[in-house]
């Protein structure tokens, strides 16, 4: 293998790793958003965890973050606007990324 081939493989491996980390961070962020929304709906414990899990599942099925925002907006029934939900998600994402980085060391 040439140096170029090695560099290409290293770049591809890094890209795959970065994509995996971003996927995990998005899923963690959606879970955190789900727990926040569940609290606004008066859910706690197992009910809150179940709701948060539905958001993670929804985000996996449709990779557009707006799908999650639309679902939460509908579920909250006026308790928060789409803009508030987007803003909350934007503040949660860096926390989720930091948690994932800490877990993977």
Supply the pLDDT for residue 79: 96
Average pLDDT estimate for 7-18:
88
Which domain covers residue 37, as residue numbers? Answer: 3-104
The tens digit of pLDDT for each residue in 48-81 reads 999 999 999 987 777 788 889 999 999 999 999 9
Quick one: CA dihedral 13, 16, 19, 23, positive or negative? negative
Q: Characterise 2 by phi-psi region: left (phi > 0), alpha (psi -120 to 50), beta (else).
A: beta
pLDDT above 80 (res 16): yes
Residue 32 has pLDDT above 80, yes or no: yes
Compute CA distances 54 → 4, 30, 58, 97, whole Å: 44, 9, 6, 20
Backbone torsions φ then ψ of 63, nearest 5 degrees: -80, 0
CATH number, position 88: 1.10.790.20
- In this prediction, residue 7 has a pLDDT band, given cuts at 50, 70 and 90, of confident
């Amino acid at each position: 293998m040439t140096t170029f081939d090695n560099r290409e493989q290293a770049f591809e491996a890094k890209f795959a790793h970065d994509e995996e980390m971003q996927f995990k961070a998005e899923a963690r962020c959606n879970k955190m958003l789900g727990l926040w929304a569940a609290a606004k709906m008066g859910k706690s414990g197992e009910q809150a965890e179940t709701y948060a899990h539905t958001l993670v599942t929804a985000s996996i099925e449709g990779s557009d973050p707006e799908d999650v925002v639309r679902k939460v907006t509908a579920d909250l029934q006026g308790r928060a606007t789409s803009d508030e939900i987007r803003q909350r998600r934007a503040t949660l994402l860096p926390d989720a990324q930091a948690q994932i980085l800490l877990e993977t060391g």
